[in-house]
Amino acid sequence: MTLPDTPTLAWSAAFAGMVSVLLLVIWSIRRHRDPGLRINCDAAIDELIPSLTGLTFSTAIPGNLVEVIENGAFFDALLDSIRAARHTVHFETFLWKEGEIGGRLAAALAEQATKGRGVRVLLDGTGARKLGDAARRRMEDAGCKVVFFHRFRLRNIGVLNDRTHRKMAIIDGREAFVGGHCIVDDWLGNAEDGKHTGDVSVRLRGPIVHSVQSAFSENWTGETGELFVGDKVFPPLAPQGDVLVHAAFAKPEGSAPAVKILHHTAICLARKRIWIQNPYFIPEPDAIDAFGQAVSRGVDVRVLMPSIGGTDNPMVQHAGHRNFEKLLRCGVRLFEYPHTLLHQKIMTVDGVWCAIGSSNFDDRSFETNDEIMLGMLNEATTRRLDAIFEKYAARAREISLHDWSRRGVLHRMTDHACYMINEVL
């Protein structure tokens, strides 16, 4: 066997070193700083909306109408609004898979494009890989602008882990949809069995629609360079209701993203109760401490999530299990729903404020993904979301500390192994 000569070995070592340095530089540039968040305040959340919005780089906007839409009914509302568009349709989502609802949506968007409406469709380059050639061709042939966010390209190597996880639509700049619904057939139906996902989104009318349009513009401009202006996209908007809404979606470089600050601050400001509905619940240590401090203030803290048998990603649920015992010892009440995937991302505080949108309660959503959450100061909307919690919690299993502390060794080992990679799940 002939061994490589010394110059060859030297060049190989030099090349390997250069690659290692390059990867280190890319990692250092893209690595999200993760400050431990702290807050010290005795006032309640409804007294501090200007502070909450200021910290999350947003503005509280009054005069909005909010309609809560559950499960498969969302698609009927969305498609009706798209078909009624007169000027523009903007749509952004993470997950779109070929199927019945994907075909219906593609047909509706294509139809509007053939009528001369400005149709812009922004899809995540990873989540929409299974869109299907037929749906894409149908939209593009009709005149829709279809763009993929952070596709696998050499120029995107530093941001391939950054995904748009937002789910939103803006119609004529006057009406918007925000929530957790994905364009997948599993989301049809009414969460009646293990094959139909439960989810919640909202339809918005009023001045807050401009903020949702701004969130869409952020990534659209980043991918295409196109800036859209005028009354067809940002029309004057009169008050339509009585709900005060603020949108959190900014992700400034070198600081905590707005969605993370929103959730953490809301926990710290709660005085009566915090009810969370989230499919992927993996709180960081500072969030667990904040939950424990809330319980010590007398706050009723409850979390509703799918069980391992109900989730679409058992590894995520196992990663969440790793800290369940600490949460239970803090006094947090945990409920697992075994019947199907509950995908809604909701938090309510003190019966007066609520948040809904696309963000999971985990590192990937809080630190890496592009997300959008809507905070709302409105008792009626908060009651509506609390009622959804109660509906599913009635069929869920509440986890007891006694039983949980006695779970098997294999379960514990799986929990710890999955938690080690929770930031990339």
- The length of the chain in residues reads 425
Residue 39's pLDDT band, with cuts at 50, 70 and 90, is confident
How many Å apart are CA 58 and CA 46, to the nearest integer? Answer: 16
For residues 419 and 88, the model is more confident at 88
pLDDT > 70 in the chain, percent = 94
Listed in sequence order, the DSSP H helices in 115-178 are 133-142
Q: String of b and e for 294-304 (b: at least 16 CB within 10 Å)? A: bbeeebebbbb
pLDDT > 90 in the chain, percent = 80
Residue 30 has pLDDT above 90, yes or no: no
Q: What is the pLDDT of residues 123-151, one digit of tens each?
A: 999 999 999 999 999 999 999 999 999 98
Which domains are assigned to the chain?
38-56+245-424 (3.30.870.10), 63-243 (3.30.870.10)
How many Å apart are CA 313 and CA 315, to the nearest integer? Answer: 5
Residue 20 has pLDDT above 80, yes or no: no
Q: What is the pLDDT of residues 373-412, one digit of tens each?
A: 999 999 999 999 999 999 999 999 999 999 999 999 999 9
Kindly report which listed range (89-93, 197-201, 253-257) carries the lowest average pLDDT score: 253-257
Q: What is the pLDDT of residues 343-371, one digit of tens each?
A: 999 999 999 999 999 999 999 999 999 99
**What pLDDT, on a 0 to 100 scale, did the predictor assign at position 7?**
65
- Residue 234 Ramachandran class (φ > 0 left, ψ -120 to 50 alpha, else beta): beta
Q: What is the mean pLDDT of residues 292-301?
A: 97
* Packed helices 133-142 and 100-114: angle between N→C axes, nearest 10 degrees: 10
Residue 333's pLDDT band, with cuts at 50, 70 and 90, is very high
Q: What is the mean pLDDT of residues 216-224?
A: 97
Q: What is the mean pLDDT of residues 66-82?
A: 98
Cβ within 8 Å of residue 404, ≥6 positions away:
324, 325, 328
**Side chain identity at residue 123, one-letter code:** L
pTM across the whole model = 0.91
Q: What is the mean pLDDT of residues 169-198?
A: 96
Give, as one character, the DSSP assignment of residue 333.
E
Residue 15's pLDDT band, with cuts at 50, 70 and 90, is confident
Residue 9 has pLDDT above 70, yes or no: no
Q: Cα 310 to chain center, whole Å?
A: 19
10 Å Cβ neighbour count for 410?
Answer: 8
Residue 157 has pLDDT above 60, yes or no: yes
**Cα separations (Å) of 74 from 97, 200, 346, 357, 358?**
17, 8, 16, 14, 15
With beta carbons less than 8 A apart as the criterion, state whether 295 and 301 touch.
yes
Q: Mean pLDDT over all residues of the chain? A: 93
